[in-house]
Amino acid sequence: MAPEVSRPTATTSTDPDVRRDIVDTVRRFVANEVAPVATALEHEDTYPADIVAQMRGLGLFGVTIPEEYGGLGLDLLTYIGVIEELAFGWMSLTGVVNTHTMAATLIMTHGSDDQKRRWLPTMATGTRRGALSLSEPDAGSDTRNISCTAVRDGDEYVVNGTKAWVTNGERAGIVALAARTEEGISAFIVEKEPGPHFEGISTGKHVGKLGYRGVETVETVEMSYTDHRLPAANLIGEAGRGLPLILGVLEVGRINIAARAVGVARAAFEAALAYARQRETFGRPIGEHQAIQLKLADMATHLEAARLLTRNAAERKAAGLRCDVEAGMAKLFASETALELATESMRIHGGIGYTVDLPVERYYRDAPLMVIGEGTNEIQRLVIARGLLARGRDTD
Ligand SMILES: Cc1cc2nc3c(=O)[nH]c(=O)nc-3n(C[C@H](O)[C@H](O)[C@H](O)COP(=O)(O)OP(=O)(O)OC[C@H]3O[C@@H](n4cnc5c(N)ncnc54)[C@H](O)[C@@H]3O)c2cc1C
């Protein structure tokens, strides 16, 4: 069955007052509900069911999904504001909504009207969680190397293969899947019941990680397909044309990673600033030592630049402008900034920064993920350079 023609799902620009209200609401939620428990839950590696339920209540699973499908219908700038606040409190929480939003974006941008009606309403409320499954054990940076196959059989496709690193994989009810069909790489929506087994799908190996714990340890999984049957109506766009669609969605993912990185960098900076005011050595606050002042000045400058790059990329994406270079720059700079600020914050804290008594050690463990996820920063530089060279040719 061929998918019906897609009607674009437009998200109009959000009123700045509405945007501020939403972001302020999330900031208060993080201060009241997340900050007091984040460190303990993260150390215990406990899934924060109450917090996720409250996020659902706030509508955070449908921030960019249009109101006609039950979402909040807000723009990407509002979304990155929300992500920065969540990451400021606990970066793991952003993982719950990120690949979910990417899967929803794939459907919103490239799904048929029927597909949008089928999947977006339950995603908007968070009743059904989404995941995005591109990577494989032998295909991370090299996305063209994926070997998971989907073979057409009448009105169905039969899927076989193993995907790696599926964030939200076990709890997801919707998985945006990249698989190889005879025409090339295609994009599909897989519907499943949450849990480790569903028909031909099983989630294996739960990945233990340096940081990004609590929410994710039970949720970054390997996912195997054995003769799993999908309706052909679950194909997104044309067969063989799926990779560019998913890579386009990864631009939203990169802007999201940049916003996460800004949140972690801000948390690290604010902790360092507060400590520099309070901790005294040689008879005065360490913030009065010039060596510490130089660090604080560099940290604040890099943080501000990261936030502006992230906002610029989100504005371009929301306006429908080309933003491969801008999303890559935002992701690259913001994630390196998070890593740098987490390290500097720990150094400014001295010995206590190395203990588990303060959240600084968590920022230090969480920051490296942003350098790797959604395309490593080495790949990001290649994306930026290729985009610049192509724009030169296209006089774009
Ligand atoms: C916690 C976590 C969650 C994740 N969640 C998801 C998810 O939900 N969905 C999903 O699809 N994926 C997910 N990923 C996978 C992630 O996108 C990949 O790990 C990432 O793209 C890197 O791929 P790789 O691990 O195979 O590294 P490799 O591709 O093997 O790279 C190894 C090293 O070689 C470098 N390298 C590779 N090729 C080049 C090149 N051409 N030029 C220069 N340097 C190069 C890389 O930068 C890196 O330093 C997740 C990863 C993690 C760690």
Q: Look at 197 and 205; give whichever has higher pLDDT.
A: 197
Give residue for tokens 């050595």: 281
The protein residue whose alpha carbon is closest to atom 48 in ligand 1 is 376
CB count in 10 Å sphere of residue 376: 15
Identify the band that residue 8 occupies on the pLDDT scale cut at 50, 70 and 90. very low
Structure token digits, residue 253: 């993912």
Which helix (H) or strand (E) covers residue 206, if one does?
strand 201-206
Q: What is the percentage of the chain residues whose pLDDT exceeds 70?
A: 95
| pLDDT single digits (tens) 177-195 | 999 999 999 999 999 999 8
Q: How many angstroms separate the alpha carbon of residue 80 from the centre of ligand 1?
A: 23
Alpha carbon distance 101, 255 (integer Å): 12
Q: How many angstroms separate the alpha carbon of residue 247 from the centre of ligand 1?
A: 14
Q: Look at 395 and 144; give whichever has higher pLDDT.
A: 144
- In a mutational test of the pocket of ligand 1, which residue from 376, 379, 381, 386 has the highest number of ligand atoms less than 8 Å from its CB? 376
| pLDDT single digits (tens) 239-297 | 999 999 999 899 999 999 999 999 999 999 999 999 999 999 999 999 999 999 999 99
Q: Look at 264 and 393; give whichever has higher pLDDT.
A: 264
Q: How many angstroms separate the alpha carbon of residue 381 from the centre of ligand 1?
A: 14
Q: How many angstroms separate the alpha carbon of residue 268 from the centre of ligand 1?
A: 25
| pLDDT single digits (tens) 198-220 | 999 999 867 788 999 887 555 67
In this prediction, residue 112 carries a pLDDT of: 98
In this prediction, residue 301 carries a pLDDT of: 98
In this prediction, residue 45 carries a pLDDT of: 87
Alpha carbon distance 19, 312 (integer Å): 16
Between helices 92-110 and 113-125, what is the axis angle to 10°?
160
Average pLDDT over the chain, rounded to whole? 93
In this prediction, residue 12 carries a pLDDT of: 75
Alpha carbon distance 233, 299 (integer Å): 50
In this prediction, residue 78 carries a pLDDT of: 97
The protein residue whose alpha carbon is closest to atom 37 in ligand 1 is 141
In this prediction, residue 241 carries a pLDDT of: 96
Alpha carbon distance 367, 378 (integer Å): 16
Q: How many angstroms separate the alpha carbon of residue 234 from the centre of ligand 1?
A: 27
The protein residue whose alpha carbon is closest to atom 16 in ligand 1 is 373
Which atom of ligand 1 is nearest to 138's Cα?
26
Q: Look at 390 and 337; give whichever has higher pLDDT.
A: 337
The protein residue whose alpha carbon is closest to atom 26 in ligand 1 is 140
Q: Look at 128 and 394; give whichever has higher pLDDT.
A: 128
Beta-strand pair 172-181/129-133: parallel
In the predicted model, what is the mean pLDDT of residues 314-342?
95
Alpha carbon distance 109, 248 (integer Å): 10
In this prediction, residue 221 carries a pLDDT of: 86
Asked if residue 377 lies in contact with residue 332, where contact means CB atoms within 8 angstroms, the answer is yes
Q: Which long-range contacts (CB under 8 A, 24 or more apart) does 388-396 make?
A: 388/325, 391/322, 391/325, 396/322
Catalytic residue annotation: 374
Which atom of ligand 1 is nearest to 374's Cα?
17
The protein residue whose alpha carbon is closest to atom 4 in ligand 1 is 165
Whether 10 shows a pLDDT value over 80: the answer reads no
Structure token digits, residue 200: 């031909």
The protein residue whose alpha carbon is closest to atom 14 in ligand 1 is 165
Q: What is the DSSP letter of 351?
A: G
In the predicted model, what is the mean pLDDT of residues 316-331?
93
- In a mutational test of the pocket of ligand 1, which residue from 203, 209, 372, 374 has the highest number of ligand atoms less than 8 Å from its CB? 372
Asked if residue 240 lies in contact with residue 258, where contact means CB atoms within 8 angstroms, the answer is no
Pocket of ligand 1 (CB under 6 A): 99, 132-135, 140-142, 165-167, 209, 212, 220, 369, 372-373, 375-376, 378-379, 382
| pLDDT single digits (tens) 75-134 | 999 999 999 999 999 999 999 999 999 999 999 999 999 999 999 999 999 999 999 999
Which atom of ligand 1 is nearest to 99's Cα?
8
Specify the pTM: 0.93
Q: How many angstroms separate the alpha carbon of residue 73 from the centre of ligand 1?
A: 31
Strands (DSSP E) contained in the chain are 129-133, 149-153, 156-167, 172-181, 184-191, 197-198, 201-206, 220-231, 235-236, 280-281, 284-285
In the predicted model, what is the mean pLDDT of residues 25-48?
94
In this prediction, residue 218 carries a pLDDT of: 52
In this prediction, residue 9 carries a pLDDT of: 45
Structure token digits, residue 138: 């032998």
Q: How many angstroms separate the alpha carbon of residue 136 from the centre of ligand 1?
A: 10
Which atom of ligand 1 is nearest to 220's Cα?
3
Structure token digits, residue 11: 């998200």
Which atom of ligand 1 is nearest to 133's Cα?
11
Which atom of ligand 1 is nearest to 382's Cα?
42
